[in-house]
Amino acid sequence: MKQYTIQFIPPEGKIRELTITQRALVISITIGVIIIGAFIYFSVNIGRVYGKNIQYNLMKRKVAQLERKQKEIEYLSKEIRKFYVISTKLSNALGLDISPTESYNEENKSLAGRENEDLNEKTMEEEAKRLRDFIPDIMPCFGGWISKEFSGEHKAIDISLKEGSSIFATIEGEVVFSGERQYLGKTIEISNDEGFLVLYGHNNKNLVRKGAKVKKGDIIALSGNTGRSDAPHLHYGIQMHGKWVNPINYLPIRR
């Protein structure tokens, strides 16, 4: 049987020799080829599995994002329908021109129609009486005059009046903020389940705390000149389902 001798010649030192038979050499080469082939095979497949795993995780994230967006769309759709219905009810009950100007799809219109059918079963007077506690249709103060109107940049009205004048809650609800704001100074915010939030800014003194339940007509603050203000006045703003609306549309001076 043939034998092969492999010499290892170091730069310095003794030369070393390794003698191997032809059979052993063939076996070693075969085993080496098998090991290298197996390594390449598993490397390629592991890479594929890793790539598939990355794709799976990406798809999983996309599905989760789509599910969140679907829930957001469903929530917004319900809020839009609720906004449309309550706007229509308020407009019909109180004679206010506050119905949304946007066009709604047939589903929203049919929902509003069903709500209006229920509304027609009651007298408009009864419905107005029920809603009046929850809508800001009274003056927030006695006297004064509107010194600045509602606009795209000024989403409220300013009512100039003597400092220390009583400020009234114009809705029944809960005080969700009572404290200092950078520009508005001493500020109070009241909200209710009908979707209204009413803001009173530049107060001299807040008389209610956060979490307090207030009735319509309660004295909640004294007018002032706090925050960024040139003269005593009340900064009076109204939100309806998160959208700032013109308070003039709700005040009795409009009708």
pLDDT tens digits, one per residue of 160-193: 999 999 999 999 999 999 999 999 999 999 999 8
Which value, to the nearest 10 degrees, does the dihedral of the CA atoms of residues 224, 228, 229, 230 take?
140
**Which of 142, 131, 134, 126 lies closest to 213 in space, CA to CA?**
134
CA–CA separation, 220 vs 233, rounded Å? 15
Residue 255: pLDDT band by 50, 70, 90 thresholds? very low
CATH topology for the 145-254 domain: Glucose Permease (Domain IIA) (2.70.70)
Question: Residue 59: what residue type?
Answer: M
Which residues lie closer than 8 Å to 2 by C-beta, 6 or more apart?
Answer: 21, 22
Please give the average per-residue pLDDT across 1-27, as a whole number.
Answer: 73
Backbone angles phi, psi at 169, to 5 degrees: -70, 125
Tokens representing 126 are 């009864």
The alpha carbon of 57 is separated from its chain's Cα centroid by a whole number of angstroms, namely 27
- pLDDT of 69: 81
- pLDDT of 227: 94
pLDDT at residue 38 tops 70 = yes
> What are the CA-CA distances from residue 68 to residues 36, 107, 156, 157, 227 (Å)?
48, 23, 34, 37, 40
Higher pLDDT, 142 or 26: 142
Which residues lie closer than 8 Å to 15 by C-beta, 6 or more apart?
Answer: 7, 8, 9
Model's pTM, two decimal places?
0.55
Tokens representing 198 are 């009413």
Which tens digits make up the pLDDT trace of 223-232? 999 999 999 9
Tokens representing 192 are 């209710």
Which residues lie closer than 8 Å to 36 by C-beta, 6 or more apart?
Answer: none
pLDDT at residue 103 tops 50 = no
Please give the average per-residue pLDDT across 117-144, as a whole number.
Answer: 72
